[in-house]
């Protein structure tokens, strides 16, 4: 399976401009990949102090995602600012080429306005596509390893984190993505944004794809904008999990 990650500058709160910008990169991926992953809140930026930018699942962002998936014949994953029943959510999505789409809301809301204005989710987004199992989490979720824990009851091959992780804590992002890959013997795709947000916080990217033993197989230069595509091998992954069955020794219940 080929996976593409897009690292791009997000114009905070300017939805039309963001959709156009990401759309140009999407078109470059048409017919060349199986899955494209976008950063957290790709259409608005992490403008959680302006929840009026949110939309329902029939709104402009998801309608555009479905168009890209159909025209490109690939799946698309990411998150957007959602509104439902007068509540606001940082909602992750996995859209299949046929327009079917699965959602889950970010579990761990970040300190400050996200906690103030948004509602936390209570489920993990697990999907299967082209015989590959995915788990999709959002930004701050990376700090909570139990939420990403591989188990035989809830297995996956690829762990996705979409983010707006800031430059001044980017070493945390780098380290935890590596840890999540090694402790779960999983491919990890971490997709971050670049640019300055509505809080005047700078983001410098560091998007990457990491293989199950902790080696980066795709990465970007600092603040680089563009696409990286790699082909993952779940047979290779299974060989690692069979040869080194660390996952069977995990402690899931203890006093």
Reduce the DSSP state of residue 32 to 3 states and report it: coil
Other CB atoms within 10 A of residue 4 CB? 26
Burial level of 8, CB count in 10 A (0-12/13-18/19+)? buried
Catalytic option among 11, 40, 167, 189: 40
Active site residue 40: yes
Please tell me the predicted confidence (pLDDT) of residue 51.
85
pLDDT at 228 over 90: yes
- Mean per-residue pLDDT, 152-174: 96
pLDDT digits (tens, 9 = 90+) for 14-70: 999 999 999 999 999 999 999 999 999 999 999 888 888 999 999 999 999 999 999
C-alpha–C-alpha distance, residues 210 and 182, integer Å: 9
Catalytic option among 11, 29, 114, 139: 139
pLDDT at 193 over 90: yes
Would you state the structure tokens that stand for residue 28, as one six-digit string? Answer: 């470059």
Domains of the chain in start order, with CATH, are 2-248 (3.60.110.10)
Catalytic option among 106, 114, 167, 211: 106
C-alpha–C-alpha distance, residues 147 and 166, integer Å: 22
Calculate what percentage of the chain has a pLDDT beyond 70.
98
Helix (H) or strand (E) holding 77: strand 75-84
């Amino acid at each position: 399976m080929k996976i593409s990650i897009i690292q791009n500058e997000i114009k905070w709160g300017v939805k039309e401009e963001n959709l156009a910008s990401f759309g140009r990169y999407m078109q470059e991926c048409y017919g060349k990949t199986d899955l494209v992953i976008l950063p957290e809140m790709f259409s608005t930026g992490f403008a959680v102090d302006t929840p009026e930018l949110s939309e329902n699942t029939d709104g402009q962002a998801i309608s555009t995602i479905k168009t890209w998936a159909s025209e490109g014949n690939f799946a698309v994953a990411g998150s957007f600012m959602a509104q439902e029943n007068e509540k606001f959510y940082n909602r992750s999505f996995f859209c299949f080429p046929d327009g079917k789409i699965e959602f889950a809301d970010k579990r761990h809301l970040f300190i400050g306005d996200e906690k103030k204005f948004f509602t936390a989710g209570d489920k993990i987004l697990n999907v299967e596509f082209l015989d590959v199992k995915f788990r999709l989490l959002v930004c701050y979720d990376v700090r909570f390893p139990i939420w990403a824990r591989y188990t035989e009851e809830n297995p996956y091959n690829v762990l996705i984190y979409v983010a707006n992780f800031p430059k001044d804590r980017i070493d945390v992002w780098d380290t935890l993505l590596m840890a999540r890959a090694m402790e779960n013997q999983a491919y990890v795709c971490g997709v971050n944004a670049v640019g300055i947000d509505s809080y005047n916080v700078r983001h410098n990217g560091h998007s990457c794809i990491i293989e199950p033993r902790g080696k980066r197989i795709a990465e970007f230069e600092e603040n680089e904008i563009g696409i990286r595509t790699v082909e993952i091998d779940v047979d290779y992954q299974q060989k690692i999990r069979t040869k080194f069955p660390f996952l069977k020794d995990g402690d899931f219940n203890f006093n």
